[in-house]
Amino acid sequence: MTFDRSKRGTFFTGRSGMSKVVPTRSLAASFFYAALALATLLVMRPLATHAQEAAPQPPLTRMLFVFDASNSMNAFWGNQPKINTARELLLKSLKQLEGQPDLELALRLYGHQTRIEPGRQDCDDTKLEVPFGPTNIPAITQKMMATRCLGTTPIARSLEKAAGDFPPIIFNDTRKVRNVIILITDGIEACDEDPCAVSRALQSKGITLKPFVIGVGLTEMDKFALQCVGNYFDASTPELFEHVLQVVVTQALNSTTAQISLMTTDGKPTETDVPVTLYDQKTGQMRYHLEHTLNDRNIPDTLSIDPIFTYRVVAHTVPPSIRENVTVRPGIHNIIGMDAGMGTLLLKMGSGPPDAQQIACIVRRKGEMPTLLAQEIGTQQRYRVGTYDLEVLTLPRLLIPDVEVGQGRTTEIVVPRTGVLNVQPSAPGPGAIFQKKGDVLEWVADLDPSALRNQFRLLPGSYQVIYRSSSARRTELSITKDITIESGRSATINF
């Protein structure tokens, strides 16, 4: 293609031989818009890259197999030694994980370096043979095929060393990391150490999640000894071992879905707008904390929950609704139901002039002493369906027993508006205020013996005030006066 600038336009000759004159001004505009588009692309591209980098990444799962290669694995299990069966099935399971994204594997063996002899065992016989990596299944396979079962069973020492097998978690990294241990053993701790305590320490420090423990042909007593280490799965036969291994790997890899259904008293999952916390039942660590929501279909929203843990679920109603030992099954949608029927308690002040003073009301479950809430008059609060005792912090205290809070209803309690009592003695002196209940006087408050003016906000009713000047040294010089207090009104007693 050629062009000739001798004319007022630019003359292009294309490969086809056809010619065209393009006005120079139009050509300049074309270059301008092309440059503008290129600049826009250059600006937009870093933004797009940044947005991609900022998008949340799926969690990385690091799965460490701690495999028993002690001498006892040479015993026959079915028609061949345990080590042969366990090795074959483990490698078969690993082969299915090839190419799995967001997964790194590692292998630690114990009992494979030092031959056990009578009266002597090597409790340090544990080693990380294949470190973590995304493509190390061939290395794990090669190592497993070359393994010979020789020594003892240092489970606690192996778990303790396993803490250093995981790369450190970078806490300012936005990507979540799940460190998982899968312990495969045919025996219990042989070195007088405590694998349960080591497991608890790993979990409490956040190094690993609750370990999976696969018991290979264990006795009932040995099973019990390993249940405290983690999620225990019993593989009493080779066929069961294959199934258990698949279940464990699936749970270790996948989160599952669940909904938390806060149930009304008539069995409908329609309670919501309540904070809910899921704790690890074993360690007490908080795993999830969320505000319960109903979705667009007016059903509890679906959550993604790790099936590794057994949970203690707390719905922060007043009082709280709690479920212990909640498990979720991977691969299916789980429904966690909780009794959480609620109604509303509305506390109102009786009619009268406005009062700037805030008065609180202690709310307790009927017959119980712990305070659930100090709710201010003029507010409303949701409570679980039930019967409550109220104590309004007025003078005198106002007790309102047996208040029923019903499902979806508002229970309204009206507290009488207080009045003001002014006590003005001619000289300072001791005294007190009593409420008159028939022929009985109930103490309400003491006067300030050093003040010439006392003021009290009292519930409407009949009162008697007793006073004696501090200079009067005879009891019969005590003075009593009766007074009636009305809502929103002031009354004065002079001595």
Q: How far apart are CA 385 and CA 319, in angstroms?
A: 10
What would the two tokens of residue 264 be? 């009304």
Q: H or E stretch including 49? A: helix 24-54
Q: What's the CA gap between 199 and 211, in Å, rounded?
A: 7
Burial 408-440 (b: 16+ CB within 10 A, else e): eeebebebbbbbbbebebeeebbbebbbeeeee
CATH of the domain at 458: 2.60.40.1120
Residues 376 and 487 in one domain: no
Pair (105, 241) in one structural domain? yes
Domain boundary among 367, 398, 415: 415
Question: Does one domain contain both 171 and 299?
Answer: no
Q: Are residues 64 and 165 in the same domain?
A: yes
The confidence score (pLDDT) of residue 20 equals: 38
Domain that holds residue 13: 2-52
How far is it, in rounded angstroms, from Cα 87 to Cα 67? 9
Task: Name the strands in the sheet holding 311-315, side by side, starting at the edge strand that comes first in the sequence.
Answer: 286-291, 275-280, 311-315, 321-326
Which of 447, 446, 441 shows the shortest CA–CA distance to 464? Answer: 441
101 and 230 assigned to the same domain: yes
Residues 348 and 283 in one domain: no
Tell the residue number behind the tokens 């003075």, with chain if given.
479
**Residue 292 CA: distances (Å) to CA of 196, 303, 317, 479:** 35, 10, 11, 62
Half-sphere CA count of 346, side-chain side, radius 13 A: 7
Task: Assess contact for 382 and 317: CB atoms under 8 A.
Answer: yes
Identify whether residues 94 and 130 lie together within a single domain: yes
Helices and strands counted in the chain (H then E): 7, 32
Contact call for residues 69 and 129 (beta carbons, < 8 A): no
Identify whether residues 239 and 322 lie together within a single domain: no
Residue 206: HSE in the Cβ half-sphere, 13 Å Cα cutoff? 9
What radius of gyration, in Å, describes the C-alpha atoms of the chain?
Answer: 39
Task: Mark whether 263 and 247 lie in a shared domain.
Answer: no
Residues 6+ apart with CB under 8 A from 54: none
- Which residue has 């249940």 as its token pair? 227
Q: Where are the beta strands (DSSP E) in 327-472?
A: 333-339, 342-349, 360-365, 373-376, 380-384, 386-392, 398-405, 410-415, 419-424, 431-437, 440-446, 454-458, 461-467
Is residue 261 located within the same domain as residue 331?
yes
At residue 333, the pLDDT reads: 85
Task: List the CATH number of the domain containing 174.
Answer: 3.40.50.410
249 and 105 together in one domain? yes
In 10 A of CB 484, how many CB atoms?
A: 12
Distance (Å, rounded) from C-alpha 326 to C-alpha 307?
A: 10
For 180-294, where are the alpha helices, taking DSSP H only?
Answer: 195-204, 220-226, 238-253
275-280 vs 311-315, strand pairing mode: antiparallel
Domain count, the chain: 5
> Coil, strand, or helix at residue 84?
helix
Among the candidates 196, 230, 253, a domain finishes at 253
CA distance linking residue 388 with residue 191, whole number of Å: 56
- Sign of the Cα torsion 21, 26, 32, 35 reads negative
- Long-range contact list for 396-404, CB < 8 A, 24+ apart? 396/435, 396/442, 396/444, 396/458, 396/459, 398/459, 401/366, 402/366, 403/345
Q: Which of 339, 362, 395 is at the close of a domain?
A: 339
Residues 249 and 187 in one domain: yes
d(CA 87, CA 147): 9
The amino acid present at 86, given as its one-letter code, is: A
pLDDT along the chain (495 residues), means of 10: 38 36 41 43 43 60 94 90 92 88 94 91 95 92 95 94 86 75 92 91 80 88 87 87 86 82 95 96 90 88 85 97 91 90 95 78 96 95 97 95 97 94 94 94 95 94 95 90 93 94
